[in-house]
Structure 1
């Protein structure tokens, strides 16, 4: 056996899972084409326990958020990089009605635990339109995804467990107990191809619902706010005078091209929120590996037990991946069952229908 696991794809999902399995003493080989466009490399990496216009608690936030902080902190220590940037998220109220609604919601302890008790609205006022004040979400921040991906790739390259290549499924041989590829044998093949998963012939039947998103990078000389600001779009400080503005969400024209429409949309939203001048210096695009039921796609192939998938993390990959990689590693080692909300068994009827299996 060459290795325990062959992981195809080194985005957030593949990188987190590779590290998780490595830390459990498993030998992992990563196959990745860094020339292919990547959703992860364009991701802002924000983790936010309260999302949406109606201030909804992120699915499984109470489990995900402590886990992600422990996970990325360990990678930081082991690999000597900075990944975690903790910052509150300031949400200006759009109206008195929204203010009243949000404040009523924070009386619920499940929501209130993620909201700051007091906010210095005056500190934001010279820079942000906030006529109705706002609230601050706590236990939030962002992960430097490009630095994380580069650190993981370098780690496995140093161990000679990284292969730079386009994975060709035609060269794969699947047996009951293993997969054979490129003259090597692996106990399991794990597919972590993000938005490219629909091109994978083994899992093309899964209910993907990819979402195109665009970000702007801007510079500002007179903007001292260090928290993320979010109302319609987010303003995320990255480094001195550099900020990311995002994001667009489109389910049509799914390609890897930035668009003028996307830029105009973000700038219109930004100008309604920001009081100080800025300059656009860059634009990024990514295709998020979302699913129709907004839940990850994790588990064993219905016919080939040596082939598995860890994908469909959507817009919340940095927060979902560590928790579910740990759960999936336990599952692969026979220690526990997968959460049925993420197990691809929920979609098996699609496979049998497509393959006319009775």
Structure 2
């Protein structure tokens, strides 16, 4: 199996990302940048890891050199994933493993070694994230040069997906669609939300691994490569409602979610479905939601601003007299994470550009009746947008157990 056939980003693209960041550091007068966010570390290096209380950081200099701060337990792991990286600052354990030295002090010493005359540093965060009981000093407290928080230097670059990233997301969409189909076909009156959701996810994962074989490269130790879930009934009026006990009943509104994960990149698919014959009220809100999503599709074009897309969707809902039932913005970018910058929101004025990936997911939420939301993965193209999630959207295709 050649590396080019494996469904993952190749080393040359990681190098190009670091070179792009190095040019930005030069432009802004920073000698180097410390990157703590696990997704940003993976984006720049290809090192995917289980983030715990043990700090990991990528250090990128203004000439593009890369080194890593890692705990001893990750030494072999990083070499397996990133054989081209050779420079490491290794600490024994958190909070010190008997060394008497906090990992952030190890990092500070490493920074002085690679840039002893540094004038200014950038970082995505001023120190490691407080997760799993981690406690530690800020990075600015252990170095003696000015530190500037500039996560935008990485996250702005992440907004435009490369052809390789788009290919991975396109593949992820196909498996999210497949997981949703398995789940929809398995739902009957009395079905349990959790059992059907997990059963469909597991079967979709089996199908995915069988079809892709050695091309599939896992990038996480938790979760499944293909996933689907749903919530039901009046609970769907909560945009992020939790699962509840009890079985599916005739008359229920179902709001679903499904996605695939390929090469560390995600897709997004959500649908509103009905059990049995929907009522006139259910149909009314479903059709209005569908029109709002169509408006979002049409508005997503290069040169427009995120806020303009949101405004067009809101204008349509206002015309329908349903703006009060909309509880969130129209969508968000995503890729390596389920939500990424920028957002289709009235206060996000980021200009859209070809290569961006967005969800379009306007929702209507009616207490006592239910929630109504479709979500699709869209790629901004040079002249508009392309829908990558291809699951049916129409009412007739989303009815369960109809007599």
Query: TM class by shorter-chain length?
Result: under 0.3
Give me the TM-score of the superposition, normalised by structure 2: 0.21
Q: Which has the higher strand share?
A: 1
Flag the structure with larger Rg. 2
